[in-house]
Chain A
Amino acid sequence: MTSLPGTPGPGTQLTPRDARPAPPATPAPPATPARPATPALTETPSARAIPAAYRHLAGRSVDPVGIEQRAAALASRSVKTVAKDHALRTAISLLDLTTLEGSDTPGKVRIVSARARRPDPGDPSVPSVAAVCVYPSLVGEVAAALCGSPVKVASVATGFPSGQIPLAEKVREVEHAVAAGADEIDMVLNRGALLAGRYSEVVEEVQRVKAACDGRHLKVILETGELGGYEMIRRASLLAIAGGADFIKTSTGKLPRAATPPVVLCMLEVVRDVYGETGQMIGVKAAGGVRSAKQAIALLVLVVETLGPSWLTPDLFRIGASSLLNDLLMQVHRRESGVYQSPDGFPVD
């Protein structure tokens, strides 16, 4: 057997996984300073803060051509008749009905809350949505409006959407939201630290916020549109999970590129790997840019074919959106009556 031209010897290329240097038992050293290039995860001292199981998973590569092809192939699934009925109702039950505008008022969030409890007042068979998602200042209002219903109160926090405030302020904001009655906290991941390679800082921040959540559900927003590629999305997902995230969430909804099918697929694959490796069941929330029932059903198909239908519960999958609800209701109505209602038949707020 002749040696392959240009191929390094087996010793250098075939280092088995478990032959990598074991992580030291001592706590992580302080974060390294920012660097222009993103260092490999296994090489930074800062990475040692991450448990070995996640670190090894984060080292896996993602092929962009392949993942986009897979997402496109799944988009061609045909969901019709009774399957469509079921999918539409499931999508409603997984919805985080969201309003995150500077112009939000107590009155507006009360209306949103009422819609969340009974999305279609004319049809009691339509399920309530999973949660209402607002800014911390409006949590009290929503909690009061949803009192006695199964709908959860979710609050964005930690300097949403940029996250550019001191950690102490982030923690204080979370404590405020929790005290006001939030069941779920949607925090933003520290992208600055992540892109600079200060991984332990990212994890520690999630851990601090998790502690401040005091048992509430924590969703960590990765803002995938700012991360530059699938491998960084994979890494960010694992750092969030290592820090204690119950859910990983695609985006704030404040950027144009958000919950695209391949991005959601990438995160679902991370969750599948974590489940396979540790048995932990992490949720995924697709948020940003999901406006049509067709898009929502395509997301459910991604979940079903990646993690299985058992992942389609509000504990494990959510869709964050505002205008989506009306399109879902319009489709439900279309399935029942055979005709499309005018958009004016559904409230616009």
Chain B
Amino acid sequence: MTESSSEVLATSAAAWDYAPAPESRDVVTIRPRYELWIDGEWSAPQSGEYFPTVDPSSEEELAVVASAGAADVGRAVAAARAAFERGWATDHAGRAHYLYRIARILQTRAREFAVLESLDGGKPIRESRDVDVPLAAAHFFYYAGWADKLEYAFPHGTRVPHGVAAQIIPWNFPLLMLAWKIAPALAAGNTVVLKPAETTPLTALLFCDVAREAGLPNGVVNIITGGGDTGAELVRHPGIDKVAFTGSTEVGREIARSVAGSGTHLTLELGGKAANIVFDDAALDQAVEGIINGIYFNQGHVCCAGSRLLVQESIQEPLIAKLTERMRRLRVGDPLDKNTDVGAINSRAQLERITSYVRYGIEDGAEIFQPDCVLPSHGYFHAPTMFTGVTQSHRIAREEIFGPVLAVLSFRTAEEAVAMANNTRYGLSAGVWTEKGSRALAVAQALRAGVIWINTFNKFDPASPFGGYRESGFGREGGRQGLEPYLHLT
């Protein structure tokens, strides 16, 4: 190489870090204080308590949010009950009409929602812009279509909505999980009280504006904010007919205990420890993309994340080499930069949890790889991490980390891969990578998981039901099946 071309090389390497390309924050207006959204209006909490919500990429406080107490939960449930009794369940065409309106407004205000989602939750703007918000709108569109066609979804017998649904959603996909909960509940004729996660309430609160803009009747959607205590009050409230929860298996168990014997209908979407199985005939470069997307999408804060990579022994070496190279190209940093691939960890508590699992991985003797990336000095960030030489007995292979940490295990035969994949308490999702159709189908059938992706990963569609086996929960969200938990079928 000539001297001048090596100069070019040195300067171009720096220039190809791209220049900062931040998405403007100006599209969002964050109020200093948020109240509870009950019966179509903002109302201060009777408890008088508020808690802060922070931008995890800067640890800067964005706003304070009301903490709903027992009395507030009671008011929200009463409002939902009154709305249900005002004929919401029988106005089929009306429900379709409101759901369509909500979907259209979400599309119109997409940028605002995307920026707010990234600010409050730390996820890269590329994901909130290209995945979260469009999928949330798609969900409302999809269920708008079912609202006046329920007798086609369930043609035999009768189908009656439960009444008031209590919905508790997690912090990893705040707006999308709201859509997954609210759209089918409303389509089926229920009214709802929804509690967003403590660390990510802002897009749910912005959704109240959408509900108002859509002209949704008062009390059909009530949004109350708060921590675990608020959630516990909500699921225990005697006026609740149905509870839908997405979150950790621990909390899911508590909820199941608290509603047991009360007649309250329950669906749970809980944790996962998905196996992503790569056979030796897979399209390697595309499998690498799928693995990266499977575990580093949304910083690994995904219940269906492909956190265990099972790779056939004969291709382990080239695949790990490719993965290592690919991880070096991941751009970790400002969630609002359009070129960021991996954003901020959602909270300090979650960052600590991830760090301790990484320590367990090292202590258990697995080999760690992290690319040489410079993490921002403020905020909660964690480098993408891969452990090789992991065995089934390692904690990082058994427990859900909910962070950007991949555990790599190897296998020799399809039977062994299936046995390893199924050897978990969970059963939410799995991935199979092979060019051989017969093997893909046979392995998919043998895997005990609710969602199985073949030659792709983390693909979502409102028409496709999603949900788990075993400790990943029960009930399905999405598709015609997603209506079922919100209806009493006879």
The contact sample of 16 A-B pairs, CB cut-off 8 A, is A4-B443, A13-B439, A60-B284, A61-B283, A66-B286, A70-B285, A70-B289, A76-B338, A77-B339, A78-B21, A79-B21, A80-B19, A309-B13, A309-B16, A312-B12, A313-B9
- In the complex where A4-B414, A313-B8 touch, is A83 in contact with B283 (Cβ < 8 A)? no
- Please indicate the chain B residues that have their CB under 8 angstroms from the CB of A69 in the complex: 289
- Please indicate the chain A residues that have their CB under 8 angstroms from the CB of B15 in the complex: 82-83, 86-87, 309
Contact check, A66 vs B455: say whether CB atoms are below 8 A apart.
yes
The number of chain B residues touching the other chain, given as a range, is 35 or more
Contact check, A10 vs B414: say whether CB atoms are below 8 A apart.
yes
- Please indicate the chain A residues that have their CB under 8 angstroms from the CB of B290 in the complex: 66
Asked if A107 CB lies within 8 Å of chain B CBs, one says no
Interface residues of A in 1-23 (CB under 8 A from B): 1, 3-8, 10, 13-14, 16-17
In the bound complex, CA of A240 to CA of B84 (Å)? 70
Contact check, A62 vs B414: say whether CB atoms are below 8 A apart.
no
Asked if A315 CB lies within 8 Å of chain B CBs, one says yes
In the bound complex, CA of A13 to CA of B281 (Å)? 9
Extra contacts, 13 of them, besides A7-B442, A60-B283, A77-B18 (Cβ < 8 A), are A1-B419, A3-B415, A4-B414, A4-B442, A7-B443, A10-B415, A14-B412, A17-B280, A61-B435, A62-B285, A70-B289, A79-B21, A93-B8
Contact check, B414 vs A13: say whether CB atoms are below 8 A apart.
yes
Asked if A67 CB lies within 8 Å of chain B CBs, one says yes
Q: Which of B9, B287, B441 contacts A6 (CB 8 A)?
A: B441
In the bound complex, CA of A213 to CA of B285 (Å)? 34
- In the complex where A3-B415, A61-B435, A276-B321 touch, is A83 in contact with B286 (Cβ < 8 A)? no
Asked if B28 CB lies within 8 Å of chain A CBs, one says no
Contact with A along B1-37 (1 / 0, CB 8 A): 1000100110111011111010000000000000000
Distance (whole angstroms) from the CB of A313 to the closest CB of chain B: 5
- Please indicate the chain B residues that have their CB under 8 angstroms from the CB of A84 in the complex: 19
- Please indicate the chain B residues that have their CB under 8 angstroms from the CB of A269 in the complex: 285
Asked if B445 CB lies within 8 Å of chain A CBs, one says yes
Interface residues of B in 395-422 (CB under 8 A from A): 412-416, 418-419
- In the complex where A61-B281, A70-B289, A78-B338 touch, is A304 in contact with B5 (Cβ < 8 A)? no
- Please indicate the chain A residues that have their CB under 8 angstroms from the CB of B285 in the complex: 62, 66-67, 70, 269
Interface of B is mostly: helix
In the bound complex, CA of A305 to CA of B1 (Å)? 22
Q: Which of A7, A83, A305 contacts B439 (CB 8 A)?
A: A7
Q: Which residues of A contact B (CB under 8 A)?
A: 1, 3-8, 10, 13-14, 16-17, 60-63, 65-67, 69-70, 76-84, 86-87, 90, 93, 269, 276, 304-305, 308-310, 312-315
In the bound complex, CA of A66 to CA of B433 (Å)? 11
Contact check, B12 vs A90: say whether CB atoms are below 8 A apart.
yes
Asked if B456 CB lies within 8 Å of chain A CBs, one says yes
Asked if B436 CB lies within 8 Å of chain A CBs, one says yes
Q: Which of A14, A60, A82, A304 contacts B312 (CB 8 A)?
A: A14
In the bound complex, CA of A79 to CA of B12 (Å)? 14
Distance (whole angstroms) from the CB of A90 to the closest CB of chain B: 6
The 10 closest A-B pairs by CB, nearest first: A66-B286, A78-B21, A63-B283, A86-B15, A83-B19, A63-B286, A78-B338, A309-B16, A10-B413, A7-B442
Asked if B446 CB lies within 8 Å of chain A CBs, one says yes
Nearest A residue to B318 by beta-carbon distance?
Answer: A276
Q: Which of B130, B318, B413, B455 contacts A65 (CB 8 A)?
A: B455
Nearest B residue to A266 by beta-carbon distance?
Answer: B285
Asked if B438 CB lies within 8 Å of chain A CBs, one says yes
Contact check, A5 vs B445: say whether CB atoms are below 8 A apart.
yes
Asked if B126 CB lies within 8 Å of chain A CBs, one says yes
- Please indicate the chain B residues that have their CB under 8 angstroms from the CB of A86 in the complex: 11-12, 15-16
Contact with A along B369-408 (1 / 0, CB 8 A): 0000000000000000000000000000000000000000
In the bound complex, CA of A337 to CA of B176 (Å)? 43
In the bound complex, CA of A308 to CA of B438 (Å)? 37
Contact check, B438 vs A7: say whether CB atoms are below 8 A apart.
yes
Nearest B residue to A3 by beta-carbon distance?
Answer: B415
Contact check, B438 vs A6: say whether CB atoms are below 8 A apart.
yes
Asked if B464 CB lies within 8 Å of chain A CBs, one says no
Nearest A residue to B417 by beta-carbon distance?
Answer: A4
Nearest B residue to A67 by beta-carbon distance?
Answer: B286
- Please indicate the chain B residues that have their CB under 8 angstroms from the CB of A276 in the complex: 318, 321
Contact check, B13 vs A76: say whether CB atoms are below 8 A apart.
no
In the bound complex, CA of A39 to CA of B441 (Å)? 25
In the bound complex, CA of A312 to CA of B8 (Å)? 9
- In the complex where A4-B443, A7-B443, A61-B435 touch, is A83 in contact with B18 (Cβ < 8 A)? yes
Distance (whole angstroms) from the CB of B129 to the closest CB of chain A: 9
Distance (whole angstroms) from the CB of A326 to the closest CB of chain B: 23
Distance (whole angstroms) from the CB of B318 to the closest CB of chain A: 8
Interface residues of B in 322-358 (CB under 8 A from A): 329, 338-339
Asked if B314 CB lies within 8 Å of chain A CBs, one says yes
Distance (whole angstroms) from the CB of B357 to the closest CB of chain A: 28
- Please indicate the chain B residues that have their CB under 8 angstroms from the CB of A62 in the complex: 283, 285-286
In the bound complex, CA of A29 to CA of B138 (Å)? 59
- Please indicate the chain B residues that have their CB under 8 angstroms from the CB of A90 in the complex: 12
Asked if B282 CB lies within 8 Å of chain A CBs, one says yes
In the bound complex, CA of A67 to CA of B318 (Å)? 18
- In the complex where A83-B15, A86-B15 touch, is A10 in contact with B412 (Cβ < 8 A)? yes
In the bound complex, CA of A82 to CA of B283 (Å)? 36
- In the complex where A7-B439, A83-B18 touch, is A17 in contact with B283 (Cβ < 8 A)? no
Contact check, A61 vs B439: say whether CB atoms are below 8 A apart.
no
- Please indicate the chain A residues that have their CB under 8 angstroms from the CB of B446 in the complex: 4-5
- Please indicate the chain A residues that have their CB under 8 angstroms from the CB of B418 in the complex: 4
- Please indicate the chain A residues that have their CB under 8 angstroms from the CB of B280 in the complex: 14, 16-17
- Please indicate the chain B residues that have their CB under 8 angstroms from the CB of A14 in the complex: 280, 312, 314, 412-413
Q: Which of A1, A76, A80 contacts B415 (CB 8 A)?
A: A1
Nearest B residue to A303 by beta-carbon distance?
Answer: B16
In the bound complex, CA of A66 to CA of B289 (Å)? 8
- In the complex where A10-B413, A13-B439, A66-B283 touch, is A83 in contact with B16 (Cβ < 8 A)? yes
- Please indicate the chain B residues that have their CB under 8 angstroms from the CB of A65 in the complex: 286, 455-456
- In the complex where A7-B443, A14-B280, A62-B283 touch, is A310 in contact with B9 (Cβ < 8 A)? yes
Nearest A residue to B315 by beta-carbon distance?
Answer: A17
In the bound complex, CA of A337 to CA of B53 (Å)? 43
Contact check, B286 vs A310: say whether CB atoms are below 8 A apart.
no
Task: Please indicate which of the listed interface residues B18, B285, B290, B418 has the most CB atoms of chain A within 10 Å of its own CB.
Answer: B285
In the bound complex, CA of A273 to CA of B297 (Å)? 25
Contact check, B314 vs A79: say whether CB atoms are below 8 A apart.
no
In the bound complex, CA of A308 to CA of B329 (Å)? 9
Distance (whole angstroms) from the CB of A178 to the closest CB of chain B: 23
- Please indicate the chain A residues that have their CB under 8 angstroms from the CB of B19 in the complex: 79-84
In the bound complex, CA of A76 to CA of B413 (Å)? 39
